Amino acid sequence: MREDIQLAVVGAGPAGSTAALVAARDLDVVLIDRKSEIGSPVQCGGFLPEAWELEALLPRAGLPDALREIPEHCILHRTQLQRIYSPSGKSKEFAVAGRVIDRRAFDRHLASQAARAGARILPATRATLVAPGLPEPSAVGSWPARRPTSSPVGNVPTRYDGTTSNAVGSTPAS
């Protein structure tokens, strides 16, 4: 049991790494991802509107710096147009200023930022969250290896494990 860990963030995608980066300013944080190489394999087209487009679209959302300050080495292309094709072959165009992000590089960049802020990164580690009443999963290769009562983070790991997660237990962080 790691007594010094105050927060476990599950998932080193953009959401989890950003959360770990912010939390690591005040807490001892561990950032866990099942991937052995952060950001790979990529499961994203990488299209991201420019920050000002996102702010116009979601004026009250409070855009995180992670989406505002994207380093040039993570940007593959810039575009002014988005064209969406339906399965029937019909398409619709929208004028939108955007970037095509190299998600592998971007995810690695954000995880590095979290590490620089003090978060410990645990790649190749699958988090298994156990809810009361559910059968105990195999602990081999998973984290935490004990029931939540003795988990290093109490009963509340913070989940940013995306839509493809198969972690068992409580609902993802909102």
119 binds ligand FAD (CB under 6 A): no
The residue from 25, 37, 47, 65 that contacts ligand FAD (CB under 6 A) is 47
Dist CA 39 CA 43 (whole Å) = 9
Size of the site for ligand FAD (CB under 6 A): 24
- State the nearest-atom distance from the C-beta of 98 to ligand FAD, in Å: 9
Nearest-angstrom CA–CA distance, 37 and 25: 24
Binding flag, residue 144, ligand FAD (CB under 6 A): no
Gap between the Cα atoms of 68 and 8, Å rounded: 25
By CB under 6 A, residue 110 contacts ligand FAD: no
Which region among 43-51, 56-64, 65-73, 74-82 touches ligand FAD (by CB under 6 A)? 43-51
CA 154/CA 8 separation, integer angstroms: 10
98 binds ligand FAD (CB under 6 A): no
Among 137, 148, 162, 169, binds ligand FAD (CB under 6 A): 162
User: Is 44 one of the binding residues for ligand FAD (CB under 6 A)?
Assistant: yes
**Which residues would be at the binding site for ligand FAD (CB under 6 A)?**
10-16, 32-35, 43-48, 126-127, 160-162, 165, 167
